[in-house]
Amino acid sequence: MKRLCFGTFATILKICMAKRVTQKRLCGTILLSIAPDYDIRSDDGTVSDLILGKKNLSPYVTDVAPTADARAASNYFKQNILPLLDSNKKSLIVLALKDMIASDDTIEPDTVVEKVNDMTKKNIAGRDAFVLEDFLAGIFLYTAVNVENRNCEENVKKITDEYIQSFEAQKTNISFLTAYSRFSTETADEIAIDTHSLVLLAETGGKCQKCGRLLGIKKEGNDVNYAKVVHLSETDDVVLCVDCEREMRNASEEEKSALLSDKHDLENLMAARDATSRYALEKQVEYVLREVQLMDVTDDTRLKIEPVKVERKITEKRLKERVLFDVRQLYEGVNNALDRLSGENKLNVDRFAKSVKRMYEDASEKLTSQSDIYNLLADTLFEKTSRKYREACKIIISYFVQRCEVFDEIAE
């Protein structure tokens, strides 16, 4: 465990100060921020005792600290303390302070540790972007008001060069702001929750992941159809409607893991989509279709003429979502590419459609699961078109599901 006190705070700054600066100048200047008449910048002994955690801050400092103007202290830090620090080590300072605060179990999660913006231990742990002068002044005020600095030698000894250097790899995680947005941290938390729900809702197409009911973000007067985020595991949240959320409270492990695996499929689908823009996908579809002419095509299969809705052909919920998504996004794109290639005499669309139909019939003799059949068709197309764009192959198969070469209508 690490502990936050003036000694450990000042030691972190000392390790990260600019070359020409001395520890007594640094420490003395910090204290002048709230006690302008208390100048120990030439008092080696006192400075050393304070930094080593051997004695308490003087009453000149601790008496005024509880009522000090925190905003003014931050301005002072900006003018007078930041120039004393090595500008390459600002992120290390923040990372070390964050780590120290997080590991100090004498501080409660809701305790305000940064006194300029009233940030709690929990707020600090959740942030990666800071106003440096606020952060340092706010924490300094905490050490002056809330903790004894006497008997802290053992804690100070843990703050070594190696400890500071251990954060080197995380430096890029920290960014600096000139001001925090005018939102309170509560508002920011609420927005973060809404954003999280939105990300989950985007994955499910705006629906309850379990029953498929359309969902919104919770607002006044909207008491059933809003998205409830449910934690399934350490790292996985799903979005459900209120009813399904209630059901899940008593769900078996089996039901939970089914929901979880469903969720992973959705994530994979999103990731695949994000990785490739729609424009790029259309190009890839066209590329795959140009390769199609090389496929072995036989032409003894009659095509259905009337398209039947995907809805009525696919029983597996997730596959249906996927195919509907493709069809909505890219049906026109595939159709246009087919027209274009046919116009250029690069592809006989009818023959291609028939060969897809035949592939489907072969596949459905061997396989029963619709997603297995779908994947086999996409894989076969992928194999036969120089193995370049798997995602485009899936989209083309989805197109043929909509056009009815793939999957028969389910009898009602």
Min dist. Cβ of residue 257 to Zn ion (A): 18
The C-alpha atoms of residue 30 and residue 113 are separated, in whole angstroms, by 17
**Do 124 and 114 contact (CB within 8 A), yes or no?**
yes
Binding positions for Zn ion, 236-255, rule CB under 5 A: 241, 244
Region near Zn ion per CB under 5 A, out of 136-144, 172-180, 234-242, 311-319: 234-242
Question: What's the min distance (Å) between Cβ of 245 and Zn ion?
Answer: 8
SS3 content of the chain, % helix, strand, coil (to 5): 60, 5, 35
Told to check if 410 binds Zn ion by CB under 5 A, we report no
> Is the CB of 90 or the CB of 210 nearer to Zn ion?
210
- The answer to whether 118 touches 142, Cβ cutoff 8 Å, is no
Nearer to Zn ion, 116 or 266 (CB): 266
* Shortest distance in whole angstroms from residue 199 CB to Zn ion: 18
Q: Are strands 112-114 and 119-120 parallel, antiparallel or unpaired?
A: antiparallel
| Per-residue binding letters, 162-201, with Zn ion (x by CB under 5 A) | ----------------------------------------
In the complex, least distance from residue 9 CB atom to Zn ion, rounded to whole angstroms: 50
Q: What is the per-residue DSSP string for 301-346?
A: -PPP-S---GGGT---HHHHHHHHHHHHHHHHHHHHHHHHHHHTTS
Element at 165 (helix H, strand E):
helix 161-165
Cβ–Cβ < 8 Å for 147, 8: no
Of 212 and 236, CB closest to Zn ion: 212
Q: Which is nearer to Zn ion, 121 or 210 (CB)?
A: 210
Q: Which residues does 191 contact at the CB level (< 8 Å), separation at least 6?
A: 183
Number of H helices, E strands in the chain: 18, 6
- Which tokens sit at 183? 């939102």
Nearest distance from C-beta of residue 211 to Zn ion, angstroms: 3
Residues in the chain: 412
Least distance to Zn ion, CB of residue 193, Å: 19
Tell me which H or E stretch contains 155. Answer: helix 153-157
Looking at the Cβ atoms of 41 and 213, the one nearer to Zn ion is: 213
Q: Hey, which residues between 200 and 229 contact Zn ion (CB under 5 A)?
A: 208, 210-211, 213
Residue 21 or 206: which CB sits closer to Zn ion? 206
What minimum distance in Å lies between the beta carbon of 208 and Zn ion? 3
Q: 127 to 166, contacts with Zn ion by CB under 5 A? A: none
Instruction: Select 244 or 406, whichever has its Cβ closest to Zn ion.
Output: 244
Instruction: Enumerate binding residues for Zn ion (CB under 5 A).
Output: 208, 210-211, 213, 241, 244
